[in-house]
A and B are shown apart, each in its own frame.
Chain A
């Protein structure tokens, strides 16, 4: 008789910014698989979790989309574990005017932001890989998915793809798996530090955000809610967490 598997929550992009903050919070109640590109930063993120020894590290570069399924499949197969929840927080932000966009730049953005998520979900709904353990999925998307900003065409496209994908798989995988997206507004992290370092950009943010800039904890709260039983009847939704930015057209 097989032992019931220990169930984990996979967090991609767990070694920085929002992903790391999500890991720190969810580690209080869950066993985590922390994913990241850099082993050193992953270990540092693990050390910041509650009960560090309870969590696993999956080091992998999501740009290599062909290898995601084999790598993650082997990772959970070898350990005889299951994945009950996925939070996809890995992302690259490349800001380029449209005249400089090309398929090479798009390739990386689409792969990390969207295709990797599709590969991971597809793998984890295969019965022979993960039985039927998967229950909840949260994609960290962006308000850029719905609203345009100069320079954001590739990023927006990748997040738009993620949200459309989310809506369809929510319908397809119901009632067993709930799938939702969180759309953060501008948050101060390593990924956005370049953008926010420009005083002109920073001033615009101050003006446009009714509640000011956010911090990772604001997104963490929403992730915790959506992955919990309190949100058992919420699926296929985009939850905007942006300090009122997208409701704002004040002059």
Chain B
């Protein structure tokens, strides 16, 4: 679980991301970061999410839950 949030923190260029954090509140949550997340989910979790789906998530936890649901992994 830590691993996912750590990777997300790297992409968003912040020291840490808490599950309850609202994605839209991060200054770096933009088209570029969305693409980086898509690439990370593809290479590290083997799942393909579309940009439109990513824009719909409110918190980091929401995103994480979808990742778990689609990949069956907990990390």
Contact = CB atoms under 8 A, between A and B. Distances in A.
Q: A and B touching (C-beta < 8 Å)?
A: yes
Interface of A: 94-97, 99-100, 150-151, 194-195, 197-201
A224 to B, nearest CB: 33
Contacts of A200: 31, 51, 55
Contacts of A151: 31-32, 35
A101 to B, nearest CB: 11
Interface in B21-39: 28, 31-36, 38-39
A173 to B, nearest CB: 38
Contact of A198 (B10, B39, B51): B51
A197 B31 contact: no
Given A197-B50, A197-B51, A197-B52, A100 B36 contact: yes
A119 B7 CA distance: 37
Interface in B3-52: 10-11, 13, 28, 31-36, 38-39, 50-52
A204 B10 CA distance: 27
A97 B31 contact: no
Nearest to B10: A100
A100 B37 CA distance: 11
Nearest to A151: B32
18 contacts: A95-B32, A95-B35, A95-B39, A96-B32, A96-B35, A97-B33, A100-B11, A100-B36, A194-B38, A194-B51, A195-B35, A197-B52, A198-B31, A198-B34, A198-B52, A199-B55, A200-B31, A200-B55
Contacts of A94: 39
Nearest to B51: A198
Contacts of B52: 197-199
B39 A201 contact: no
A84 B34 CA distance: 43
Contacts of A198: 31, 34-35, 51-52, 55
Given A197-B52, A199-B52, A96 B36 contact: yes
Given A197-B50, A199-B52, A99 B13 contact: yes
Given A194-B38, A200-B31, 18 more contacts: A95-B35, A95-B36, A96-B36, A96-B39, A97-B13, A97-B36, A100-B11, A100-B36, A150-B32, A151-B31, A194-B51, A197-B50, A197-B52, A198-B31, A198-B34, A198-B51, A199-B55, A200-B51
